[in-house]
Amino acid sequence: MTDPHWNQLLQVIRGESVRPIPVGFIIDSPWLPAWCGVEIADYLTDNDVWFEANRKAIETFPECIFLPGFWSEFGMCTEPSAFGARCVFPRNEFPNAEKIVEEATEAAGITEPNPATDGLLPFMLSRLKWARPRIEALGHQIRFSVSRGPLNIATFLMGSTEFLMAIKTDPDEMHRFLRTITSFLKKWHALQRETFPTIDGMMMLDDIVGFLGEEDFVEFGKPYLRELYDTDVSVKFFHNDAPCAESLRHYPEIGINLYNPGIQSTLAEMRQMADGKMAILGTIPPRDILAVGTPEQVRVAVRQLLDANPDHNRLVLSCAGGMAPGTPTENIRAFFLDE
């Protein structure tokens, strides 16, 4: 991310007027490889392929704020690999991590990994170390530490259905499970910040939050997220594109100041839930409009969003969720309206 884009993001979070309204997107392996004509396996494992794909994105759309920017990742295998999950990498499909615990007591006793040595995490850092001078030569900086959230990781290690059932049947064991994951994530984010002093933002993604009612979120989500976001960075970015109506009112208290939602609630509803205290990145439908619509449909959707929400502060125009596979170049360009 460039200095001007970073400063725009900070202005948006502070509630200052930024014109034109910034446009930004989460981009990673579900979209980038196919968009630039490479296979997913090469994108994830070949430094040059990964770097050139990200460079093509920032040079094709120089006006866009891409978050986190040059995302070093191995898809959903990234954090589960550190716990010992078997990771499956099809040639040109999304990778997946197989669960490693069957019972609540087994989950409660799981060993905390070392993010400096375990799984794919050292390779993530090595890629960024290799890329850092190249990134900076393009006028960009490494701005964010990144991870999936504690509930998300728990479901990869245990299974979604099994974890969600266990918070009801074995709550004490699930708290111990989440405590271990949270402790690991604190060290993982700290290691990223220590390795790259330019980091002044934290990005976590946890869609499982959207599967909890408010009572369960307050018990099993809020305390762990609040602990993780209790760190001295300027941008505290959270992605949950599952339903947010049961949890969003708690996000500002957790410390989150930038949120990427799904399409289940309107921008106006989410602003009311958060009492206007949080910037939002969204909220055009990522598949039905941005990926498979026409450029004109994108322009109409963006204009309707702006017309329905005349207060354009604390807003980064984007899709709801990350960039969907198959999103074409011309539809991204259609986001930029003449104000």
Residue 338 lies in a domain: no
Q: Residue 23 pairs with which residues in a beta bridge?
A: 317
Spatial CB neighbours of 130, under 8 Å, sequence gap ≥ 6: 47
Domain that holds residue 254: 3-333
- Cβ distance 6 to 141 under 8 Å? yes
Three-state SS at 52:
helix
Cα–Cα dist 142/138, whole Å = 12
Flag whether 258 is in a domain. Answer: yes
Cα of 107 vs its chain's centroid, Å: 25
Residue 96: what pLDDT?
Answer: 95
Predicted TM-score (pTM) of this structure: 0.96
Residue bearing tokens 């030569």? 137
Within the chain, what is the greatest distance between any pair of CA atoms?
58
Euclidean distance between CA atoms 315 and 37, whole angstroms: 32
Tokens found for residue 92 = 């040109």
Number of Cβ within 10 Å of residue 58's Cβ equals: 21
How many domains is the chain partitioned into structurally?
Answer: 1
pLDDT per position in the chain (339 positions), as tens?
Answer: 999 999 999 999 999 999 999 999 999 999 999 999 999 999 999 999 999 999 999 999 999 999 999 999 999 999 999 999 999 999 999 999 999 999 999 999 999 999 999 999 999 999 999 999 999 999 999 999 999 999 999 999 999 999 999 999 999 999 999 999 999 999 999 999 999 999 999 999 999 999 999 999 999 999 999 999 999 999 999 999 999 999 999 999 999 999 999 999 999 999 999 999 999 999 999 999 999 999 999 999 999 999 999 999 999 999 999 999 999 999 999 998 764
CATH number at 259 reads 3.20.20.210
Return the bridge partners of 317, or none.
Answer: 23, 282
Long-range own/partner contacts, residues 188-193 (CB < 8 A, 24 or more apart): 188/79, 188/82, 188/115, 188/121, 188/145, 188/147, 189/145, 189/147, 189/228, 189/231, 190/231, 191/115, 191/116, 191/125, 192/125, 192/145, 192/146, 193/145, 193/233
pLDDT at 177: 98
> ∠ CA(7), CA(227), CA(275), 5° rounding?
60
Q: Which residues contact 105 (CB under 8 A, 6 or more apart)?
A: 170, 173
339 found inside a domain: no
What's the burial of 175, exposed, middle or buried (CB within 10 Å: 0-12/13-18/19+)? middle
List b or e across 206-222, with b for residues whose CB sees 16 or more CB atoms inside 10 angstroms: bbbbbbbeeebbeebbb
Residue 218 resides in a domain:
yes
Model pLDDT, residue 337: 76
Identify whether 215 is part of a domain: yes
Residue 193 in any domain: the answer is yes
Q: Is residue 204 part of a domain?
A: yes
Give the pLDDT of residue 142. 98
Looking at the DSSP bridge assignments, the partners of residue 201 are 144, 235
d(CA 30, CA 39): 11
